[in-house]
């Protein structure tokens, strides 16, 4: 990512993050193999809901397969990871703002299929030293089965030095601290957790499935197990009516969770979600660009975490930032004030994306 602005000579950057954020989830699998997404023939044995992603070695006729199904998503920081899909969909799948897995029945993928993908990676992904376990909530997999999966990764991909995954409050709290520590010893490094909001009102309205107390408990369990915790918050999810409460309470909850990383996204409405239809019927009022920036400012003001990295470099954001709030908060607030005053270039609407 390229730096396109800075505040004085500080370590705060406004990042041109859209290209990084939009990288395909399979980016960097291996430069010796080229993705060929049209190579699955009509008489393929793949089911209608399954899509094998095919890689062809340049100059050769042989093909190699990774078995991906549906929509594959991953955090921006996992762009250069081996994407190993071990579940399909999301175990919760009730959030009214998320359309990623609508109509998809959650399931854990067959071990034989996952093992075949690990075998593929052992031959063709030797230059990638990180693994990201997809889909939306891989931590929900029963502990013994996860242990076996991690053992397989360690055996077949011995050069991998970091395994990461998504985990929601429910799946985290289903694991004891001892079990999480065991996974850490086997290679788990990072858990990405979607907080979205610290407001109990907003969490209830968006059907997140946990209140702020459960969110704090889950986040602290990850940290107590010695794992890296990355927490996602969603600007605008409270709407205009609950914007202030959302920002203040999210700052409070994030502070109590004490994550290593805070990633802010900005709400974008998707036609296949309930929230989209609530907005169309005027039951949910989304903020303007300026109001989103005001909410960002209030959120930042209320976060008081030691050493946590704060990032808003996702392609959905108007103002990309990358900083440590414990060190840079005054300068971050000054940068946001400049943006509100129209003195800083913002990401145009046509470049925003999920």
pLDDT tens per residue, range 298-341: 999 999 998 899 999 899 999 999 999 999 999 999 999 999 99
Taking only the tens place, the pLDDT of each residue in 55-113 is 444 444 555 678 999 888 899 889 999 999 999 999 999 999 999 999 999 999 999 99
Q: Which helix (H) or strand (E) holds 80?
A: none
Of 281, 192, 270, the C-alpha closest to 237 is 270
pLDDT at position 243 is 98
Contact 254, 233 (CB under 8 A): yes
- Boundaries of every domain in the chain: 11-39+47-344
Asked if the 11-39+47-344 domain carries CATH number 3.30.750.24, the reply is no
Tokens 């077949």, residue located: 156
- Rounded to two decimals, the pTM is 0.84
Of 37, 106, 100, 43, the C-alpha closest to 66 is 37
Which residues of the chain fall below pLDDT 50?
A: 1-51, 53-60
Q: Which pairing describes strands 309-311 and 261-266: parallel, antiparallel, or unpaired?
A: parallel
| CB hemisphere CA count around 255 (13 angstroms) | 14
Structure tokens at 150: 């991690």
pLDDT at position 63 is 53
Using CA atoms, how far apart are residues 146 and 111, in angstroms rounded to an integer?
A: 11
Using CA atoms, how far apart are residues 213 and 207, in angstroms rounded to an integer?
A: 15
pLDDT at position 245 is 98
Of 239, 254, 247, 259, the C-alpha closest to 307 is 259
pLDDT at position 354 is 84
pLDDT at position 313 is 87
pLDDT at position 107 is 95
């Amino acid at each position: 990512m390229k730096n396109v602005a800075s505040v004085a000579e500080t370590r705060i950057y406004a990042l041109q993050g859209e290209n990084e954020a939009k990288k395909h989830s399979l980016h960097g699998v291996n430069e010796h193999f080229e993705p060929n997404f049209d190579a699955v023939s009509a008489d393929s044995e793949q089911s209608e809901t399954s899509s094998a992603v095919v890689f062809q070695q340049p100059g050769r006729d042989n093909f190699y397969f990774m078995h991906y199904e549906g929509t594959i998503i991953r955090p921006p920081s996992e762009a250069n990871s081996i994407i190993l899909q071990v579940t399909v969909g999301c175990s919760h799948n009730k959030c009214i703002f998320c359309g990623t897995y609508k109509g998809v029945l959650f399931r854990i993928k067959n071990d034989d299929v996952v093992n075949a993908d690990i075998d593929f990676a052992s031959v063709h992904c030797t230059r990638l030293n990180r693994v990201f376990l997809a889909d939306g909530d891989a931590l929900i997999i029963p502990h013994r089965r996860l242990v076996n999966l991690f053992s397989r990764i360690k055996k077949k991909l011995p050069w991998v030095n970091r395994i990461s995954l998504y985990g929601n409050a429910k799946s985290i709290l289903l694991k004891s601290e001892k079990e999480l520590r065991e996974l850490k010893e086997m290679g788990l490094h990072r858990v990405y957790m979607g907080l979205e909001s610290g407001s109990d009102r907003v969490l209830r309205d968006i059907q997140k499935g946990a209140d702020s107390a459960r969110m704090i408990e889950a986040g602290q369990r990850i940290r107590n197990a010695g794992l890296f915790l990355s927490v996602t918050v969603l600007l605008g999810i409270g709407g205009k009516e609950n914007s202030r409460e959302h920002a203040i309470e999210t700052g409070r909850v994030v502070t109590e969770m004490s994550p290593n990383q805070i990633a802010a996204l900005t709400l974008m409405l998707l036609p296949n979600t309930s929230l989209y239809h609530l907005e169309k019927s005027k039951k949910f009022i989304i903020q303007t660009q300026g109001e989103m920036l005001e909410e960002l400012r209030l959120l930042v003001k209320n976060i008081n975490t030691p050493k946590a990295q704060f990032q808003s470099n996702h392609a959905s954001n108007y103002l990309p930032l990358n900083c440590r709030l414990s060190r840079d908060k005054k300068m971050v607030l000054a940068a946001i004030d400049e943006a509100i005053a129209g003195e800083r270039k913002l990401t145009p609407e046509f470049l925003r994306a999920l």
